[in-house]
Chain A
Amino acid sequence: MAFPSVAARVRPRPRSEAGARVKLGRQARREELAFYAFISLWIVGFLLFDAGPIVASFLVSLTNWSLLGDPTWVGGGNYQRMLDDAVFFKALRNTFYYGVGSVGLGVVTSFLLALLLNQSVRGIALFRTIFYLPAVVSGIAVAILWTNILHPDYGLLNAGLARLGIDGPGWLKSPDWSMPGLILMSLWGVGGAMVIYLAGLQSVPQHLYEAAALDGAGAWRKFRDVTIPMMSPVIFYNVVVGFITSLQGFVLILIMTDGGPANSTLVLGLYLYRNAFTFFDLGYASAIAWVLLVVIMAITALQFVAARYWVYYEADQGR
């Protein structure tokens, strides 16, 4: 990787070896200085908007602070309180429910769609656009739209189910069906993951399929023994990123149900938001933020450990 600086390579150097080395050192120092100058904006941003806040939020989590008065030190009091807070545990459970549900179903749906779109039939570009489109239009308009679609009486979904002779549930109005409703909505936006799978599928070398065919493998064997192993790093990536994203999507939930009914859609992010900006309990909100951070890191680490058993990387075939 050694990459002698350009000037050192092309300029004739009539001086002694030692002289040249001193010169190179200065050159390298200047380049180093330039590097730090170029990335300085990000360093400032990182300290101001990421690292600083993370440290600050830990310190705030050790206090009681209502924004109006001065913070008072309570040590681990907020974390103690969390252990006795049934609503917190409900939110933690809902967070996992939403994460596992939306990522699990999302991975399957987007993978199946990608397989379908990987067939060479006419008009495939148009279909790709259609499936990808909902992923682009996130935000409040979608929240409004889906509140209406999921309406138990006037909604599109239950009207469709009624056509099939099914008496649709209360969706966002029912504690049991509110979360499935939100997960269903999240499935509408699987286009992003789908495009990533599609790119992965198209880079699986054809010769693997041809070799498998020569060995007499049918379509299913080829899918199981070539496609799935070759795609496993992509699947892994989508699971990790999908999970992190699912933990952050509380704004739509805030708009659509505000955590209800009966806290059935209260997720950790929303509980944090509520404590911070509705109750102005900054200490407790920050403690929740830290737990959320630890949960995300733990889950990601766990996924990396689990990946050893099912993700196939071509580079380490020799195990």
Chain B
Amino acid sequence: MSQVLPRPAPVVPVARRAPRLGGRHLGLLHRLLVWALLLAGSALFLLPFLWMVATSLKLSEDVFTVPPRWLPDSFEWRNYIDGWTVLPFNTFLRNSLIVTFANVLGNLVSCSLVAYGFARLRARGKNALFILLLATLMIPREVTIVPRFLLFSEVGLVNTLWPLILPAWFGYPFFIFLLRQFFMTIPRDLDDAARIDGASHLRILFDVILPLSRPALATVAIFSFIGNWTNLLDPLIYLRSTDLYTLALGLNLFRGQNFTQFNQLMAVSIITLVPVLVVFFVAQRTFIRGVTLTGMGGR
């Protein structure tokens, strides 16, 4: 992998652990101050999570107390089971899995193909098209939701999962851009060699480029996974029957019906977040590389 991503040689040889801001070592006082700020900041950022977990374990009557109490008297783990079974969350989970994986697969396939074209093939009009591709990143989703809805209702696909799946199979500019940037870092000599052996472009893409692009593909897969798993707008627009609801939409339904059962609501919220958190912790480095490679926050 390291030969694929050559790092620029540092201008100044790094002799010791380079102190960042100053030219000096950090003094003890300075270090303590940084530590104190980091600890205080982390506490602030973690509190909402802790609050979420604490609430999910309370009895209903302990949720709304003034002043709020942090720790529940007893840990009500059954909130998780009770909440999950109030609505057909198993069905919602199945729908979410279908939609999410169809999107991840669609994004990987379609965006790899398009990115290969932009990274490797020469053609008239290519630059103009690439600028067009980047420009579409700026189009707010709001502008197209009404006509898209009309399009899908015209072909009779409203209240099916298709409007949530189909667009992913036609390329997504952000991922195309990300993959194209990565493909450009792979030395052309490798595909030249394959070409001399008579390999087609598809062969080169699948046998040479993609195996070397696993980190970038992983980034696309993760962003796509999280984006679709938490997507609420499209399900809200297109899905009517409860048996088609995704987890996010089901959670919204639960929220509308059982607002007083805040403990259960929190418990189910936590369950829906678990896959996201697992993916994040397993692939944290991939994640952060994706953010810095494209300069986008991964929403």
Contacts and interface: CB of A to CB of B under 8 A. Distances in A.
A222 B295 contact: no
Interface in A98-131: 113, 115-121, 124, 127, 129-131
Interface residues of A, number: 105
A146 B48 contact: yes
A133 B280 contact: yes
Given A196-B292, A273-B145, A50 B139 contact: yes
Contacts of B236: 251
Contact of B143 (A5, A54, A251): A54
B41 interface: yes
A72 interface: no
A35 B141 contact: no
A144 interface: yes
A225 interface: no
B42 interface: yes
A307 interface: no
A211 to B, nearest CB: 10
Nearest to A154: B64
A107 to B, nearest CB: 13
Interface in A23-53: 28, 31-32, 34-39, 41-42, 44-46, 48-50, 52-53
A48 B284 contact: no
Contacts of A188: 45, 48
B144 interface: yes
B67 A162 contact: yes
A290 B139 CA distance: 11
A145 B269 contact: yes
A241 interface: yes
B124 A192 contact: no
Contact of A145 (B37, B195, B266): B266
A292 B292 CA distance: 29
Given A136-B226, A148-B55, A42 B133 contact: yes
A223 B21 contact: yes
A15 interface: no
Given A113-B41, A195-B288, A293-B143, A120 B20 contact: yes
Contact of A31 (B12, B38, B46, B123): B123
Given A38-B114, A145-B51, A159-B67, A140 B146 contact: no
Nearest to A218: B22
Contacts of A196: 291-292, 295, 297
Interface centre among A45, A57, A159 (most CB of B within 10 A): A45
Nearest to B294: A196
Interface in B237-264: 237, 248, 251-252, 255, 262
B26 A121 contact: yes
Contacts of A146: 48
A49 B144 contact: yes
Interface in B108-139: 110, 113-114, 116-118, 121-124, 126, 129, 132-133, 136, 138-139
A97 interface: no
B6 interface: no
Given A6-B196, A118-B20, A276-B145, A42 B176 contact: yes
Given A44-B170, A255-B255, A119 B146 contact: no
Contacts of A52: 147, 151
B272 interface: yes
Nearest to A56: B147
Q: SS class of chain B's interface: helix, strand, loop or mixed?
A: helix
B232 A139 contact: yes
B295 A241 contact: yes
Contacts of B23: 209-210, 213
A188 B226 CA distance: 18
Contact of A134 (B20, B34, B45, B167): B45
Interface in B211-241: 226, 229-233, 236-237
B156 interface: no
B255 A154 contact: no
A13 B20 CA distance: 57
Interface in B34-60: 34-35, 37-38, 41-42, 45-49, 51-52, 55
A49 B147 CA distance: 9
Interface in B150-209: 150-151, 167, 169-171, 173, 176, 192, 195-196, 201
A153 interface: yes
Contact of A285 (B31, B146, B169, B173): B146
A156 B248 contact: no
A290 to B, nearest CB: 7
Given A32-B124, A145-B51, 12 more contacts: A31-B121, A46-B133, A53-B148, A116-B41, A120-B18, A136-B287, A139-B232, A139-B248, A156-B48, A192-B291, A209-B22, A289-B146
The 7 closest A-B pairs by CB, nearest first: A192-B297, A45-B170, A139-B230, A38-B117, A53-B147, A42-B171, A35-B123
